[in-house]
Amino acid sequence: MPSAPAVREAVLQARDLVVQYPQARALDHLDLTIGRGVTAVVGPNGAGKTTLIEIAEGLRVPDRGAIEVLGVNPRMATAQERSRVGVMLQTGGIASGARAVEHIEHIASMYRHPLDTKALCERLGLTDLGRTPYRRLSGGQKQLVALAAAVVGRPQLIFLDEPTAGLDPAARVRTWDLIAELSGAGADVIVTTHYLAEAEALADDIVLIHHGRVVAQGAPEILRANHSTPGVRIVSAAVFSDDQLRERLIRDLSHILGIPVGCIVGSHDVVITGGDLVVLRRAIVQWFATSAVALEGLADAEADLEEVFFALTTSDTP
Most confident by average pLDDT, 2-6, 29-33, 86-90, 301-305: 29-33
Q: 91 pLDDT exceeds 90?
A: no
Q: Which of 201, 224, 247 is the last residue of a domain?
A: 224
pLDDT score at 9: 84
Task: Confirm whether 309 is domain-assigned.
Answer: no
**Residue 128: burial class (beta carbons within 10 Å; 0-12, 13-18, 19+):** exposed
266 lies in the same domain as 286: yes
What is the phi/psi pair of residue 127, to 5°?
-60, -40
For the domain that residue 122 is a member of, what is the CATH number?
3.40.50.300
**CB-based contact 287:253 (threshold 8 Å):** yes
184 lies in the same domain as 269: no
Per-residue pLDDT reduced to its tens digit, 240-254: 999 999 999 999 999
- Per-residue pLDDT, averaged over 180-194, amounts to 94
Q: Residue 294: give the domain boundaries.
A: 231-301
Task: Confirm whether 2 is domain-assigned.
Answer: no
272 lies in the same domain as 168: no
- Per-residue pLDDT, averaged over 288-304, amounts to 87
Q: Which of 190, 224, 258 is the last residue of a domain?
A: 224
pLDDT score at 2: 43
Above pLDDT 70, what percent of the chain?
A: 95
Q: Are strands 25-35 and 10-20 parallel, antiparallel or unpaired?
A: antiparallel
pLDDT score at 194: 87
- Per-residue pLDDT, averaged over 153-174, amounts to 93
Task: Confirm whether 3 is domain-assigned.
Answer: no
26 lies in the same domain as 154: yes
**CB-based contact 38:203 (threshold 8 Å):** yes
pLDDT score at 317: 52
> In terms of Cα–Cα distance, which of 106, 147, 91 is closest to 124?
147
Per the prediction, the chain carries an average pLDDT of 90
| pTM of the predicted structure, to 2 decimals | 0.79
Q: How many domains does the structure of the chain reveal?
A: 2
184 lies in the same domain as 290: no
18 lies in the same domain as 158: yes
Task: Confirm whether 316 is domain-assigned.
Answer: no
> In terms of Cα–Cα distance, which of 176, 123, 186 is closest to 154?
186
Q: 305 pLDDT exceeds 90?
A: no
Q: 225 pLDDT exceeds 90?
A: no
Task: Confirm whether 31 is domain-assigned.
Answer: yes
Per-residue pLDDT reduced to its tens digit, 38-60: 999 999 998 999 999 999 999 99
Q: 286 pLDDT exceeds 90?
A: yes
Task: Confirm whether 4 is domain-assigned.
Answer: no
Task: Confirm whether 314 is domain-assigned.
Answer: no
93 lies in the same domain as 195: yes
Q: Which of 180, 207, 224 is the last residue of a domain?
A: 224
Q: 183 pLDDT exceeds 80?
A: yes
Above pLDDT 90, what percent of the chain?
A: 71
Contact partners, residue 89, CB within 8 Å, separation at least 6:
146, 161
Per-residue pLDDT reduced to its tens digit, 5-18: 444 689 999 999 99
pLDDT score at 31: 97
What is the phi/psi pair of residue 142, to 5°?
-60, -40
192 lies in the same domain as 268: no
pLDDT score at 4: 44
pLDDT score at 316: 54
16 lies in the same domain as 130: yes
